[in-house]
Amino acid sequence: MNVATFHDADDPGANDAFERWRREHSGGFVLNYGSPSDMMVHRTDCPHFIFREPRSLTSYKKVCAESIDDLQAWAAGHSSRSPGICRACSPRS
């Protein structure tokens, strides 16, 4: 499993690193992880990651991978629930 994680609680530079990862992996996927019962999978270009005002996208942990299967495996190791799938960017399609 090849994943990268970004979270403000772990690294004050997490937001910049996450944005860099998104640019470098335009076909990748992001698991927004709030808690074991609050997980959502997005594409890296999901409109949910666009804000008009500056704000940290990594206040919630972001788990990133080029493969949605890697994110599903990570989620299975951290929760008994499957993550939701974002309807705005349809990561499964």
Length of the chain measured in residues:
93
Q: Looking at residue 52, what is its pLDDT?
A: 66
User: Exposed, middle or buried by CB within 10 Å (0-12, 13-18, 19+), for 55?
Assistant: exposed
pLDDT per residue over 6-41, tens digit each? 999 999 999 999 999 999 999 999 999 999 999 999
Helix %, strand %, coil % of the chain (to 5): 25, 25, 50
Indicate the residue type of 90: S
Question: What pLDDT was estimated at residue 55?
Answer: 81
Q: Which residues, in sequence order, are bridge partners of residue 30?
A: 42, 64
pLDDT, tens digit (0-9, with 9 covering 90-100), for 38-92: 999 999 999 888 876 678 899 999 999 999 999 999 999 999 999 999 998 876 6
pLDDT, residue 93, reads: 46
Listed by start position, the domains of the chain span 4-85
